[in-house]
Amino acid sequence: MIYSDSQFDISANQVSKLKDALMAATEENTRDDWVCSLEINALKSQIAELEADLAHYQVLKSGEISVAKSHSLESLPATLVQARIARGMSQSDLAEELGLNLEQVQRYEESEYAGVNLGRLIEVANILNVYTAGSIETGASSGNVIFSWNNIDDVRWQEFPAREMVRRQWFNLRRGDDISQATKAYFLEAAGPHFASALHRKKLRGTNPPNEYALIAWQARILERAQAWIEEFKLPSFELDDRWLPELVALTQKSTGPRAARKLLAKKGIALVIEEHLPGTYLDGAAMLGRSDHPVIGLTLRHNRVDNFWFVLFHELGHVFLHLFEGIRYDFFDDDTTEALGTIEQEADQFALNALIPKDQWEGCLSRFALSEEAVQFDAKRLNVAESIVAGRIRREQGNYTILAKLIQSGVREQFQEVNHDLE
């Protein structure tokens, strides 16, 4: 695809040179030479592709065709480029509107906006008067749900669980206040200036489709608390480097490991927020990006087991390291009680399992077959992980949550009772 007038001129010049080469090759091919025939066909193919790109650019720029306002998220990157051209904007014009340099906009378009923050994508779309089409996709076979909203005007504020939010003291409701407007005001404040990041596409794992308004209310609360955490403790920038994860695994052996994990994650630029799920959301954890592009992990501690805490945490870290910064970003919401269906969830599950106990070490564990407390204790000591991690994995693989019950510790919630936690 051609993105600018300068690229158009370069491509037109290439076509001219290719046509000259084609003419020369045709004249030289006086005999039935299959090598020359291949060269001629290749030149014709290149010319045809370039001429199609030239024609497409000319038609878009002439205004002879219009770009529809509403598009699916999958087609959004290409649509943004076409919309810019059709509206007579150069890459420099768009860069000026965004407050960026020309080179950044060129990189955006040449990569089809791969890895670009959703807030930025929607900002570009708004400038170009292009909107994403909201969708809910469900399927009994997939076990996954995807939610997205076009923009703030699509939200039905009266559908939020406002009274539950007030009961939890997320915001105050005074006599005479319009509850829908109060909810909207809270959401815009909690989710921050780039509220679109709390409305954009979400991928959910679970057999029970959640109440979408309870979902984004919970996410707004997570983002609000994460931002306060990031600012108060001045979290460093996050680096996509997971070599420190063994240090996190070692914390599983400590009784205060979950609380210590939050401190370690903060030092690595990741905000961990504990917030009880709202009714109708069926959530165990979620991974998303905060306003400053810090990864944010929200956990509900729906199950008060130590092994569940660690597995869900590492599952969300799998999303952070494998998926959160890829392409058009999703937020990931997970119900750990359901089977992982689909590549993304399976990858996150495997990331968690292998980070806690590497595959080759797990395959050599006696406890997988003996299913006894003594075997679990032996393997846990050898692997340098908590006994509950080994026992929990066996129970998960066996599909039997009644075995090894004495080794399954609880009491995670009690480590996160305070509203504010010291990083010292």
pLDDT in tens, 223-280: 999 999 999 999 999 999 999 999 999 999 999 999 999 999 999 999 999 999 999 8
pLDDT of 47:
80
Give the Cα separation of 295 and 269 in Å (integer): 7
CA atoms within 13 A on the CB side of 278: 23
Beta strand 131-132 with 70-71: parallel, antiparallel or unpaired? parallel
Lowest mean pLDDT among 68-72, 179-183, 246-250, 343-347: 68-72
Answer whether 0.95 is exceeded by the pTM.
no
pLDDT of 116:
77
pLDDT of 420:
41
The most distant pair of C-alpha atoms in the chain lies apart, rounded to whole Å, by 93
Q: Is the pLDDT of residue 318 over 90?
A: yes
pLDDT of 341:
55
Amino acid at 260: A
Give the Cα separation of 215 and 198 in Å (integer): 10
- For the segment 207-219, the average pLDDT, to the nearest whole number, is 81
Q: Which of 338, 238, 254, 234 is nearest to 287 (CA)?
A: 238
| Residue 276: CB atoms within 10 Å | 15
Give the Cα separation of 307 and 405 in Å (integer): 12
pLDDT of 139:
36
334, β-bridge pairs:
205, 285
pLDDT of 28:
72
Mean pLDDT rounded to a whole number for the chain: 81
Give the Cα separation of 330 and 324 in Å (integer): 7
Confidence of residue 42 (pLDDT cuts 50, 70, 90): confident
- For the segment 344-352, the average pLDDT, to the nearest whole number, is 91
Task: Please tell me which of 8-17, 123-132, 302-311 the model is most confident about, judged by mean pLDDT.
Answer: 302-311
Lowest mean pLDDT among 61-70, 175-184, 332-341: 61-70
Q: Is the pLDDT of residue 8 over 90?
A: no
Q: Which helix (H) or strand (E) holds 416?
A: none
pLDDT of 133:
42
pLDDT of 254:
96
Q: Is the pLDDT of residue 151 over 80?
A: no
Tokens at 179, concatenated: 């509850």
Contact call for residues 134 and 150 (beta carbons, < 8 A): yes
Residue with the bigger pLDDT between 157 and 87: it is: 157
Give the Cα separation of 364 and 344 in Å (integer): 27
Kindly report, residue by residue over 44-69, the tens digit of the pLDDT.
777 867 776 676 666 556 554 444 44
Residue with the bigger pLDDT between 74 and 11: it is: 11
387-398 vs 373-383: helix axis angle to the nearest 10?
120
